[in-house]
A and B are shown apart, each in its own frame.
Chain A
Amino acid sequence: MIDEIQRARDAALAVIGSSDDASLDRLSGELLGKKSALAAVKAGLGRLDPDARRTAGQALNEVMAEIAAAIDDRRAQAAAAALAARIAAEQLDLTEARPLQPRGHLHLVTQAWERLEDVFIGLGFTVAEGPEVETDWFNFEALNMGEGHPARGEFDTLFVGRDPSEQAGASGTLLRTHTSPVQIRAMLAQEPPIHIVAPGRVFRRDTPDATHMPVFHQIEGLVVDRGITMADLAGTIEAFTRAFFGEGFTSRLRPSYFPFTEPSAEFDIRRPDGSWLELGGCGMVHPDVLRAGGLDPEEWGGFAFGFGIDRMAVMRHAVADIRDMYVNDIRFIEQF
């Protein structure tokens, strides 16, 4: 009997040792199940005398446990081998990775525009917008440049009409030459206090060259409240200068002339190396302009400022020719 058990054990261990993972479940049934050789031995135990039965029973249990453990070992070995095989098979060179999807790029003007907006929002401004095609009244008349005002000649204006044969001079519709009409629209639309910046597209009848485009972008600021002084203007320009350009940059105002502000100033930025950058124009809102906006200049005061957005973009990225920003060549766009 014992011999029979030993033979079954030896045979079973031999089979297990040469089995693969998939056959182990079946093998477990064949070797230990009800129809297995050992099960038949177990069934024959009853025929033995008690001593021999005990001895044989003990041996049988030990062998069955040994076989079960052997199957478990074999299964673990197989799993480890399978994992190792998978890992080996799945080897990957991570530097072969291709982009999921090429990234898109914002236009340089948009990038500068948003950076400027963010700085002014931080200074307490909200953002106002207006139409690009304007009336003569909003673009000139309300800004203290009535019919025949000599300053109009400095804006090379593009006039617009439904009929191309219409005379340019006779049209009261035009492409805004600056974002200043938004000042008037804001004053007419809301009660002071007003703290707005108005970024937007503007138009001049300028032949394009490396530094000029007939279509370009400006940002305009307007503050109207009681007790606004020119010191507030100088302080706001200075605060903007530090916030936008960084520490070490300062600003100065110097006298200039614009029909819609008085006193008027140019504002220059002083770089840390001591050089100056002429940035834009500003001034105290002219009493006539406040009146055009429906406000009493004896009650309200204000200041306004404006400068070019394109130039900020061009300077930041050292773009030599402003026209490059408007070719829409992907090789340009995707650099930024």
Chain B
Amino acid sequence: MKVLLSWLNDFGPFADPENAQEVARVADDLTSLGLAVESIDIVGDAVDGVITARVMRVEQHPDAAKVRRVWVDAGDGIERHVWCGASNMSPGDVVPLATLGTTMPDGRTIERRGILGIDSEGMLCSAVELGAGSDGSGIMLLPGDSPLGVPYAQALGQARDVVFDLDLTRNRADCWSVRGVARDLAAHRSQPLGEPGRGATFAAGDDRSVVVEVVDGERCGRFTATVVSGVVVAPSPDWIARRLTALGMRPINNVVDASNYVMLELGQPNHAYDADAVGGGFRIRRARPDERIVTLDGVERSCTADDLLICDGNDTPVGLGGVMGGADSEIDDNTTIVALEVAWFESLGIMRTAARHGLRSEASARYERGVDHELADAAIRRFAEILAVTCPELVVHSGRADVRGAGLPASGTSIMVRVAKINQVLGTSLVASDLPALLDGLGLVVSGAGDAVSVAVPSWRPDVRAEIDVVEEVARRYGYDRLGRSVPRAAVHGHLSPSQRRRRDLRRLLVGLGISEAMPNPFVAPDTMQLAGIDGPTMHILNPLVAEESVLRTSLRPGLLTAVAHNEHHRRDGVALFEIGHVYPPGDGELPDEYEALCVVLAGRDAHAAVGVWREIAAGLGVGAMIDQSSRPSGLHPTRSAVLRAGRDVIGVIGEIAPDVAGRFDVAERVGVLEVRLDGLLAHEPGPTAHRAVSRMPSSDLDLAFVLPDDVPADRLERALRQGVGELLVSCELFDVYRGSGVGDGSRSLAFRIRLQHRERNITEADIAGVRERCEQAAAKCGAVLRA
């Protein structure tokens, strides 16, 4: 929301626009009030190089009907010749002359540009060209008694001005107006809120009314229609046009501009209809489904029964209530009598209509935040004052239609506020007698004294409804900077939970293994999970930005495969990536069975590498799981994958990505993969390990090789051997795998090195013989035969 400093000053004064320090102080004050100044723009600075000049003579060019030759005197007695496309000037007029080398607001530079072989020594300017008004129909005519050769702005009385662009919060509906902002600023500076002097007097006229019927009084809490005659449609004076332009509105004509002026100044949207075009009155009702209206912007809109329509006396829609007027009842040059609508609409309905039609107008922006429900009378008067500036014969007729509906908020509400509550929340030590000075300037009138006071809430502050809202107003006026600074003492020392600590350990362990962290999008395309070979239902985003991101992932694999493909395409084969993130399979209830998972992908590496990573994780976190290759997880390589089992629970999958899945993700490399649920792994922190004394006795090694059928996992044999060795076991490690001659087809030879040690004595030949025999027996149960 933009406000103009000169306009604020109508209620001030607050700052001299020429004084940079004063301007900066206004900006600081507004920001400290919670009306954050996003940007400060200087406007109305005169265009350098444009000076006053008197027209000496004008000649029509014989060969070019639209071009005139003009000779001007810029005060130095030298006649300069300029070409001019306009024809509204006569000898004797004072006009703005852009001299050679002047840079115009639109960026072009005035050059000695020849037309028809004759040079032009400058350019005569219109108000539009100077950014000084709305009239582009001809050359700007300056007062005839202006001195010559001086900056045109001096002759015009145009001054520098400042536009503050405010980032308003949703609660401050009242600040969607110059007066609302001025009110806060005046209160902040403990100065009275002034009355703007600009405007002209108008006459009161006889009783002329239009008929108003409000069908939906909930949505339309008040509708007034005032007949105003003596209107002469014309351009607005430059100062009005400049103000509207500075705040981003296009000047149209004096009637529309007066309407907009009132909205910007007071925050009351309103609409001026040609009184002859409304069929004698207005009817405010809900639209019929698919009822059509063409709004002022020329767009035909199809309504729903939730839209509120302003209809004319013939029940024909003439406006989308509170959002935008209709195209058919627009003011035109022949309008002499105006029917002025000033109404109050319920905010949520306006919000829905504006959102549904994608139509956010200046009016709807104000209505959807909440317009002062007692503002109509002031707005009607102000409209007449402003319009009377250009329409001296203006008459405001009595007999105004004024219909109120049930939705109009009650006036005169007040709130009990405990002084102790203020101090409890703010940490201040205020007393009741401090409050009027803080609140009265905002229109919040304090009465009573003692422990609790009564605060009357003005109609322009619908956001103030409860005690805490008043506490906030006190804080705002007291100044957030003046509140003290203390640090509450925590009851416990700060710490990470065991799971959070272990998750950090896990991340660092993975980084130590050369694996980097990725963060793919948790949203995938509808077919992504199937492409990754992952079955099962999914949750859907019901209003996705794009269909490719409309499904909540149930596995981290697709995102990392996409990342592998991306890196391959950029000549970075062999990436090792991990992600720790949430997956969202549907659950029994409303929410999914969301959990945190870890996925590791090792491009260019095989399933054994994935197992290596898992073993490091298991050792690092002190957890265990069985690699069960009898189950084939979907999406993984059928003969190179397993599930990870902790007890009965499947906690993850491990192996390689299935070649067809890799192909579908455009991944050329083999990809080792590990995906595991983290909740259980992180939550179950193993207790401390008790120390076992290291034996001082010598150890002995025993190498044993077994032939084992391919369908029996090596770790089953290893577990059997470990059990078979018994208490002498120090370690048992697989050190060689051999397939080939000497070992039958469908089998392989697995060589283990077993280290034996006794706590109190040397290992004997008998010990070794016994171990060998027990290992042989244990191996036999797995189907393994000791190799000779």
A interface residues (Cβ-Cβ under 8 A, vs B):
101-107, 109-110, 114, 117, 120-127, 129, 131-135, 148, 150-151, 153-154, 158-164, 166-168, 171-173, 175, 193, 195, 201, 205-207, 214-215, 223, 225, 227-232, 234-236, 238-239, 252-257, 262-266, 284, 286-287, 301, 325-331, 333-334
Contact = CB atoms under 8 A, between A and B. Distances in A.
Contacts of B521: 215, 326
A131 B594 contact: yes
A104 B510 contact: yes
A215 B584 CA distance: 15
A232 B488 contact: yes
Contacts of B108: none
Contact of B540 (A131, A164, A193, A333): A164
A328 B562 CA distance: 9
Interface stretch (B228-236, B543-551, B685-693, B767-775): B543-551
B492 A105 contact: no
B491 A153 contact: no
7 contacts: A103-B514, A104-B513, A124-B490, A150-B347, A172-B590, A257-B170, A330-B575
Interface of B: 31-34, 36, 169-172, 347-348, 351, 355, 368-369, 424-427, 466, 468-469, 471-472, 475-476, 480-481, 483-497, 500, 504, 507, 510-523, 526, 537, 539-545, 549-550, 552, 559-560, 562-563, 566-567, 570, 572, 575-578, 581-582, 584, 586, 590-592, 594
B188 to A, nearest CB: 11
Contacts of B566: 327-329
B537 A255 contact: no
A133 B522 CA distance: 12
Contacts of A150: 170, 347-348, 351, 368-369
Main secondary structure of the interface of A (DSSP, over half): mixed
Contacts of A215: 521-523
Contacts of B469: 262
B563 A328 contact: yes
Nearest to B476: A255
Nearest to A236: B487
Contacts of B581: 201
B360 to A, nearest CB: 11
Residue in B368, B494, B552 with the greatest tally of chain A CB atoms within 10 Å:
B494
Contact of B590 (A101, A135, A164, A256): A135
A228 B296 CA distance: 53
A133 B552 contact: yes
A183 B542 CA distance: 26
B512 A256 contact: no
A229 B745 CA distance: 79
Contacts of A238: 485
B517 A110 contact: yes
Contacts of A252: 480-481
B33 A334 contact: no
A162 B592 CA distance: 9
B468 A287 contact: yes
Contacts of A286: 468
Contacts of A101: 513-514
Contacts of B572: 329-331
Contacts of B33: 255
B172 A257 contact: yes
B355 A135 contact: no
B480 A255 contact: yes
A163 B476 CA distance: 47
Nearest to B508: A106
A232 B490 CA distance: 12
A32 B169 CA distance: 108
Residue in A132, A163, A328, A329 with the greatest tally of chain B CB atoms within 10 Å:
A328
B541 A104 contact: no
A161 B453 CA distance: 49
A171 B592 CA distance: 13
Contact of A301 (B424, B490, B519, B582): B424
A106 B495 contact: no
B170 A154 contact: yes
Given A106-B507, A172-B590, A223-B488, A331 B570 contact: yes
A175 B170 CA distance: 23
Contacts of B517: 104-107, 110, 333
B520 A328 contact: yes
A229 B424 contact: yes
Contact of A235 (B486, B514, B594): B486
A123 B490 contact: yes
Contacts of B511: 103-106
A241 B329 CA distance: 58
B468 A264 contact: no
A179 B515 CA distance: 29
Contacts of A328: 518-520, 559-560, 562-563, 566-567, 577
A133 B511 CA distance: 29
A329 B512 contact: no
B522 to A, nearest CB: 6
Contacts of A262: 468-469, 471-472
Given A158-B544, A164-B540, A214-B545, A107 B425 contact: no
Contacts of B542: 158-161, 164, 166-168, 171
